[in-house]
Structure 1
Amino acid sequence: MNADVIIVGGGITGSSIAYGLAQRNQRVIVLDGEDHDYRASRANFGLVWVQGKGANMPDYQLWSRRSSQRWSDFARELFDVTGQDLHFEQRGGLVFCLNDEELEARRTSLQKLHQKLGDDSADWEMIERSDVETLMPGVKLGSEVCGASLGHRDGHANPLRLLSALQAGIQKLGGTILSTRVQTIQRDGGGFSLETGRERYSAQRIVIAAGIGSQALGEQVGLGVPLRPQRGQILVTERLIPILPLPASGLRQTREGSVMIGATHEDVGFDVSTTGLAAAKLSARALRVIPALADAKLVRQWAGLRVITPDGCPVYAQSKCHPGAFIALCHSGVTLAAVHAEIIAQAIVDGELPSSLKVFNQRRFNVPQAA
């Protein structure tokens, strides 16, 4: 099968780029891997998040802002194409602080980031307990909650609806999605040939967006990126009456009423099992914020693997030795979906990433080791 562009990886990142390409009249094939592959999109918390992003790379903060600003139009366009509501809301987001030390540490961290940016526009503020109570009149806060940071650009969406809508949009716009795992990538004339063991697919350009599997595939076209998996576990309660009008880092209520509690950050290799220890840790923190959750039944616990680069920031690059081969990696697929569908997709069509994204090139990791 031939295409203008083949996307290797059908998670939120790969599907966002593929959707944007299909919008631009590109013949797109998405090779989505197999059912038992590790999939970060299955365990996504659903935040469209800006505050605090990019503490070690301010450009990541700016990139997250650009996507956040585009998200409303992005969600509306996807609805127009597919009829699927992403449950997107953008009224701000909270990071709860349980003592004065946490409050001051949060304030200092955000101030340092915005000083690096030379940014006078306040897109966040530190608020006291009384202000949090005003924002959340339907819930009684735990006695330890002394305040929070409020990010005005933050929001949330249903990640499963997002992935479903993206894949429906790709197909409505003429793209193809196949469940098969790419084994080898080879140069083929002016384009590329991808072998799966059963079939061969050809395209002028390819985008590797296969999550943790991108490391081995990228090495075949000069785009090796050091990656590690990081397990994140999430808890989900039964459906409750609305109590959380704003999402928070590690605590949000879906439109259906379930409360999501998360997430752990565990370096355990490729182990995607769930643990009682993680459930206890997540529950304990959530109950310190909202004690009434003690009466809610937990109905689900799951784990997934984040895609983590050495500095925790995204990677976007085109191969120098194999022009036309691109790679796109991040662990903020929901937040960045809007710019992936617009800016990254247009860059693939143009055959060149914009200069503003050079900071995200994988060559930043090629630092010689001391003898």
Structure 2
Amino acid sequence: MSTHFDFVVIGGGLVGAALARGIARENLRVCVLDEGDVAYRASRGNFALVWQQSKGINMPAYANWTRRSVELWPAYAEQLQNETNIDVALQQDGGFHLALSDAELERLVSIAERVNGQTGVNPYPYSVLNGDEIRRRLPGAGPDVVGGTYSPLDGHLNCLRLYRAMHRALIAAGVDYRPGNRVVRIDYTDSFSLSIEGGGQIKARHIALAAGLDNARLAPMVGLSAPVRPQRGNIIVTEKVAPFLKIPVQTVRQTDEGSVMIGDSQEESGLSEDINNGIMGVMARRAVRMFPAIADLNIVRMWACLRVLSPDGFPIYDHSVTHPGAFVATCHSGVTLAAVHAAVLAPHMAHGRLPPEAKSFSARRLHVSKTD
């Protein structure tokens, strides 16, 4: 097997797969070194939303970056299908945030107003609806729903098909995908030498760290910073039933195959992926209040997963000054941002730079001293 590449992407999750495919399309020889399913892979816990609403409070650049990706998604889904013959079932007919109290509704409206009211933001369209309006648009919604917000930009897809399509697209683009290859050391002279756990070395002119939580360990090896932490989320999946929820809610969605997914939790639990039954119960009760018919469904799967979060919750994209050719990319919205990663971020990395929009996401923002 070859040991020399133009570009090595470390990490084969949603971020790494999107970047590798996009870089390879620039006629570079690309290798993906992936720790494999033993890793704390956030990709296996995604809720499969393509989502604009509420993104970007206190960072207008993130609202705009998300907006760009949401608008790129139809073309990205079409490209994946053309390259892999896999339909990721993208539906962008809008999405809802639902409120079960007046206080919750006020908070939802406040978030939308704060995001769109920021200087430099490209405002996203949204509507504020009362409970009766919600029930007219979502006939299965229960009487406890007092209202909500709706944006026509939002949507969802089939998360299992997406991950399969992204990896099949790697092969179609000529990427050398190597699972079970954990990088333990990165050395640099005029190029990069990556030492693999258990033996072996890979050399590359450029590298991209897209290893999720492991970026915190790898980034300092190339003069970068990625102070990410795990945040646990829980997911419930029910049996398959006849379609009743064609437009997703942020915390409840029905897949194209008929199962219902429920996900609405955030826990600071370290690296534990244990299921929290108490939180699962709260999630289930809220989902039943929103859609009473869910109460009759059998649960077929429950699991917990670890999100990848920076200190302020926003992505980190950086290019090393001390190790030219080394990049880092990390975020917690790997599905929503996959389109912009593949179509915008990756081609720029392939040419040795970051796009202008990415400058706001440097980790240097996290180290600026605050003064009164």
Shorter-chain TM-score category?
over 0.9
Match for residue 94 of structure 2 among 86, 92, 95: 92
**What SS is found at the alignment partner of 2:31?**
strand
Deviation at 1:355, TM superposition (A): 2.3
1:263-288 Cα offsets, whole Å, 9 max, x none, are: 31000000001121121111111011
Match of 1:142 in 2: 142
What TM-score comes out, normalization by structure 2 length? 0.96
Q: Secondary structure at the match of 2:215?
A: helix
Instruction: Classify the secondary structure of the residue corresponding to 1:193.
Output: strand
Q: Deviations over 1:327-350 (max 9, x none)?
A: 000000000000100111111122
User: Structure 1, residues 192-218: CA drift from partner, whole Å, max 9, x if none?
Assistant: 010013211111000000000001100
Residues of 2 paired with 1:345 and 1:118: CA distance? 24
Q: Distance in 2 between matches of 1:56 and 1:118?
A: 11
TM alignment of 1:232-311, pairs within 5 A: 232-311=233-312
- Please state whether the residue corresponding to 2:77 is helix, strand or coil: helix
Judge conservation of contact 1:216–1:224 (CA < 8 Å) in 2: no
Between the aligned partners of 1:208 and 1:187, the Cα distance in structure 2 is 15
Distance 1:290 1:166 in 2: 33
Letter in 1 for 2:362: N
Does residue 107 (structure 1) correspond to residue 79 (structure 2)? The answer is no
Name whichever of 110-119 and 160-169 sits farther off.
Answer: 110-119
Higher mean C-alpha displacement, 84-93 vs 119-128: 119-128
For the residues of structure 2 that align with 1:343 and 1:325, how far apart are their CA atoms? 17
TM-score (norm 1): 0.96
- In the TM superposition, 1:340-359 aligns within 5 A as 340-359=341-360
When the two structures are aligned, how many residues end up with a matched partner?
A: 367
Establish whether residue 74 from structure 1 lines up as the match of residue 76 from structure 2. yes
The alpha-carbon distance between structure 1 residues 62 and 120, as it changes in their structure 2 partners (threshold 3 A), is closer
CA deviation after TM superposition for structure 1 residue 37, in Å:
1.1
Identity %: 41
TM-aligned CA deviation for residue 155 of structure 1: 0.5
Question: Quick one: distance in 1 between partners of 2:123 and 2:208?
Answer: 35
Q: Which residue of 2 aligns with 1:116?
A: 118
Query: Following TM superposition, by how much is the alpha carbon of 1:172 offset from its aligned partner in structure 2, in angstroms?
Result: 1.4
* Map of 1:157 onto structure 2: 157
2-structure distance, mates of 1:269, 1:119 = 34
Letter in 2 for 1:247: P
Q: CA deviation at 1:125?
A: 1.2
Question: Is the alpha carbon distance of 1:230 and 1:119 closer, same or farther for their aligned partners in structure 2, counting shifts above 3 Å?
Answer: closer
- Structure 1 residue 227 and structure 2 residue 225: aligned? no
Root-mean-square deviation over aligned CA pairs:
1.4
Give the Cα–Cα distance (whole angstroms) in 2 for the partners of residues 120 and 15 of structure 1.
28
Contact kept, 8 Å, 2:65 with 2:357, in 1: the verdict is: no
Distance (Å, rounded) in 2 between the aligned partners of 1:5 and 1:273: 36
- Residues 286-333 of structure 1, C-alpha deviations (whole Å, 9 max, x = no match): 011011111000000011100000110001000111010000000000
Unmatched segments (≥5 aa) in structure 2: none
SS of the aligned residue for 2:222 comes to coil
Aligned position for 2:56: 54
SS class of match (1:204): strand
Residue identity matched to 2:183: V
User: Over residues 77-101 of structure 1, what are the superposed CA-to-partner deviations in whole Å (9 max), with x where a residue is unaligned?
Assistant: 1100000110100000100011222
Specify every segment of 5 or more residues in structure 1 that has no aligned partner in the other structure, as ranges: none
Following TM superposition, by how much is the alpha carbon of 1:118 offset from its aligned partner in structure 2, in angstroms? 5.7
Give the whole-Å Cα distance in 2 for the aligned partners of 1:117 and 1:124: 18
For the Cα contact (< 8 Å) 1:3–1:29, is it kept in 2?
A: yes
Q: What secondary structure is seen at the aligned counterpart in 2 of 1:183?
A: strand
Counterpart in the other structure of 2:20: 18
Q: 1:298 to 1:6 in 2, by over 3 A?
A: same
2:212: which partner in 1?
Answer: 211
